Homo-oligomer: A and B are copies of this chain.
């Protein structure tokens, strides 16, 4: 899973990194940066969604067969509050792992200047799919 994450160039572009991995649970961190903002100076909803989506995908992958690749089928995100903070933490967990489809939920929380995690600023529900026997897809 860490090898696959390292190949997600867009996560590196955003500065996202793995905070922790457990079976069915992945936590990613991303820092506030001026080049990731929307028009009001908060982190762009798309960055929040991107990191939450990756966290969900890798949470799903931890429970899939070793020869499976994972792709996002769909996700839905509610933005609960402006993404203000110094660091953002996306914590994803598998709600149900099926043979083909895995459903995940993720929460994103912002860390303030005092280092404390606040209430969730975003909530995601996502469906991931296992692809098997696709030698072209290293995962």
Contact = CB atoms under 8 A, between A and B. Distances in A.
A73 interface: yes
Interface in A58-84: 69, 71-82
Contact of A9 (B36, B53, B78, B82): B36
A5 B74 contact: no
A113 interface: no
A139 interface: yes
The dominant DSSP class at the A interface is mixed
Contact of A120 (B43, B49, B54, B96): B96
Count the copies.
4
A47 B8 CA distance: 12
Nearest to A52: B46
A96 B119 CA distance: 9
Given A7-B38, A10-B38, 20 more contacts: A5-B39, A9-B34, A10-B47, A11-B44, A13-B13, A13-B36, A40-B71, A45-B72, A49-B53, A73-B78, A73-B127, A74-B74, A74-B77, A74-B127, A75-B77, A78-B125, A80-B103, A95-B120, A96-B119, A105-B105
Interface of A: 4-5, 7-13, 34-40, 43-47, 49-51, 53-54, 69, 71-82, 95-96, 100-101, 103, 105, 119-120, 123, 125, 127, 129, 136-139
